[in-house]
Amino acid sequence: MILPVGLTLDIAVQQFLDHLRVERELSVATLGAYGHDLAAFSRFAAAKKLSDLASVRPVHILEYLSALTDNALSARSQARALVALRQFFRFLKTERLCDANPTEDVDLPRFGRPLPTFLTVAEVDLLLAAPDRRTDRGARDGTMLETLYATGLRVSELVKLRLPDINFEAGYLITVGKGGKQRLVPLGEAAVAALRSYVEGARPRFLRPGRGANTDALFLTRLGRRMTRQGFWKILGTHARAAGIRKEISPHKLRHSFATHLVERGADLRAVQAMLGHADIGTTEIYTHLSRAHLRTVYDRFHPRA
């Protein structure tokens, strides 16, 4: 295969990272992880004198992973490196910059997935009570937190919500998740009440003439623009500290809390899968392990002969 003139491995990596940033809107941290892993492979390729992308074969991928093992890199880090390379070569193949993906037949031994961490119901209650909802910012922040915990949305889905996506009467919202798949997610009474109050009260006061005054974005910044993921991360951290929560906090931790609390109370796993937007129920099954761990804790704590 003849690659475009001047397309070195480093340039191809940069094109891939630009694709992740613009098209897939990945976070700065995730982009940094991809960049770190692909830069390491670029150094390996240079040392092996691999002249172009087309010269990379499965054997080179295996040699690279073996080198990572020799450098005492953990199995999890090796798996992350392989995922980065798979995504990279898949992108190149899709863009017709290479004929084959040399990572397709390369695999790593399976290893245990760590159980996701989550907030207790009491901690969620403290978090939701932290914003001062008598103020416009507090009403907005509280509504975002209520909506996230009520639905288990990804943070990217939360900040992309539009006014037409909320059905107050039926009590659900519409979101578009990974792969452009649309799904309906129920809303509890508390979330519906918070959303209605915010839309009718605080939200109009965030609108600014000439600065997106006609926007249909649901959650707005003080400048009248659509809330960003980074902006919400800061909001969440501020209120978690105010609530006295010492655990490391993130929007995804609220998503884990949403799913865990449902499963602990007997929710059907298929229903939880649909609400989370998981393509594979195997991803959702992690919460059954959490539920079993919860049952073990309850048993050990309360059974007289535990």
List, by residue number, the catalytic residues: 154, 178, 252, 255, 278, 287
Task: Give 179's DSSP letter.
Answer: G
206-209, long-range: CB < 8 A, 24+ apart: 206/136, 206/140
Dist. CA 273–CA 279, nearest whole Å:
8
Residue 165 identity (one-letter amino acid):
D
Helices 136-151 and 251-264: crossing angle, nearest 10°? 50
Dist. CA 20–CA 16, nearest whole Å:
6
The pair phi, psi for residue 220, each rounded to 5°, is -120, 155
C-alpha torsion sign, points 36, 41, 42, 47: positive
N-to-C CA span, the chain = 66
Burial class (CB in 10 A: 0-12, 13-18, 19+), 18: exposed
Show the tokens assigned to 257. 């809390």
Dist. CA 136–CA 139, nearest whole Å:
5
Dist. CA 90–CA 295, nearest whole Å:
42
Dist. CA 44–CA 76, nearest whole Å:
19
